[in-house]
Structure 1
Amino acid sequence: MPKDIEKTPSPETKAAPALRLRKPDATDGSGIWELVRKCKPLDENSMYCNLVQADHFRDTCVVAELDGMIVGWISGHMIPEKDELFVWQVAVSPAARGLGLGKKMLLELVNRDACDGAKNMKTTITRDNEASWALFRSFAKQIGGELDDEPHFERHAHFDGRHATEHMVTIDLPQPAPLARVA
C-alpha cells in the first residue's frame, strides 16, 4: 500500500493549495518529463526514460502534486548490492519553489518501505549547482546526517570534456529513518 501524504489546508487557511506527495505511475511519465524540462540545469532525459522510472522504480521515486498539477519529482533507486539510496534528480516547479518541497520529498522518500535499511543517501552534483548543494546540505542538517563529497564522474575521464565533473555526495542516514516531517 503506498504511503501517500496529503496536506489539506486548515480551516484558517482554506485558500491554501493542497499538496500531495505520492508514488508515481506510468501515466505520470509525460508530466514528469515536462517538469524536468522547466527545471534548468537538470539534464533532460527522454520521455520514455521518465515513464520507465515512474513505472519500474515507483517505490523509490516521488511525485508532488499541488492542486492536481505535478510540481515536484524525485527519481531514485536503491544501489544494487549496497544499503544505499541513490537520488538521480530532484525537480521542483518554479510555481512551487519556496515551499520546502525538495526537503519534503526527500524525507518522504527515506521513510518509504523500499528504502528501509538504507544507511546512506547518495547523489551527484556539479560544483556550480548551488540550488542542489543548498538542498542536500539543508536536508543533511535537518536529519542530523553527515554530508561528504568527492569527485566521481569526471569531466575528461567520463564525459569527454563535455560535462562538468559530478561530485558524489554521501549523506549518512539515521537508523531508523527520520519520521518527523519537514515543516
Structure 2
Amino acid sequence: MSLTDTHHVSLRTPRPADAPAVWRLVRDSDILDTNSLYYYNLWFRDFGGTSVVATAGDDDVVGFVTAYVRPDRPDTLMAWQSAVAPAHRAPGLAVRMMHELADRTAGLGVTCVETTVNPGNRAVALMLRKFAHERGLKIHTEVLFEADDFPSDDASAHPPEILYRMTPALGPAGHAVAGTGAPS
C-alpha cells in the first residue's frame, strides 16, 4: 500500500465526469451505501459547488466528499459521503477535504458542519474530532436514524447513524468563535 503525500494531491470542485470514479470508490469501500452512477452524475451537476474531489497524478480521483447546504438550515453544511482510495491514504487528506469545504462554504454563511457516522467507524469519528479541534468547533452527537429506520430482511443490515453536529464554540460573552481555515 503506497502512501501519497497530501501536498501532492489537488482538491477541486467535482464535475459529472468524476461520477464513475467516485461511484467505484463507494462501491469498493465495503462500508458506504452505493447509489447509482446516475445519482452521482446528478449530484455533481447540482451540488458540485458544495462537494470536493481529491486528485493525484493525471487527475485521477483518489478521494471525495459529497455535501450540501441544508435548505432548512442555511448555516449548516451536511457532509454526506466521503472516501479515500486505499492506495492513496495520504495522511490528513480527509481532514484537508473537510477544511476545503468549510472554507468554500463560509462565504455562503455556513458556520456549522454535520455528518453521520456508523457507530463502528472509529477512524471517521477520530478524523471529525481532529477537524473540529482544528477549526475550534464543538461536537454534539445524537442518534439521527435508528437501525429500524432502515428496513431489511437482515436485522443487522444497517447500523444506526450517529449525527455529528459541529458548531462554533462560544467564546467570551457568548459570542460564537470558530477557526476560519485549515492550519498551515
**Global fold match (TM > 0.5):** yes
- Code of the residue aligned with 2:162 in structure 1: it is H
Please give the alpha-carbon distance, in whole angstroms, between the structure 1 residues aligned to 2:158 and 2:107.
Answer: 30
Query: TM-score, normalised to structure 2's length?
Result: 0.82
Task: Verify the 8 A CA contact 2:6 2:92 in the aligned structure 1.
Answer: no
Query: What is the aligned-residue identity percentage?
Result: 32
RMSD: 2.2
CA drift at 1:178: 3.9
Post-superposition Cα deviations, 1:7-47, rounded to whole Å, max 9, x if no partner, equal xxxxxxxx998321000111111111112222231111111
1:121 CA drift (Å)? 0.5
- Residue 163 of structure 1 is aligned with which of 158, 162, 167? 158
Equivalent residues, number: 168
Q: Which 5+ residue runs of structure 2 have no aligned equivalent?
A: 170-175
Amino acid across the alignment from 1:170: R
Runs of 4+ aligned residues of structure 1 deviating over 2 Å after TM superposition are 15-18, 113-116, 173-183
Superposed, 1:138-149 pairs within 5 Å as 138-149=130-141
Specify whether residues 149 and 73 from structure 1 end up closer, same or farther in structure 2 by C-alpha distance, changes over 3 A only: same
Q: Tell me the CA shift for residue 120 of structure 1.
A: 1.1
Aligned to 1:119: 111
How far is the alpha carbon of 1:116 from its aligned partner?
2.6
Give the one of 96, 110, 123 matched to 1:104: 96
- Unaligned stretches of 5+ in structure 1? 1-14
2:63 match: 72
TM-score for the superposition, normalised by structure 1: 0.83
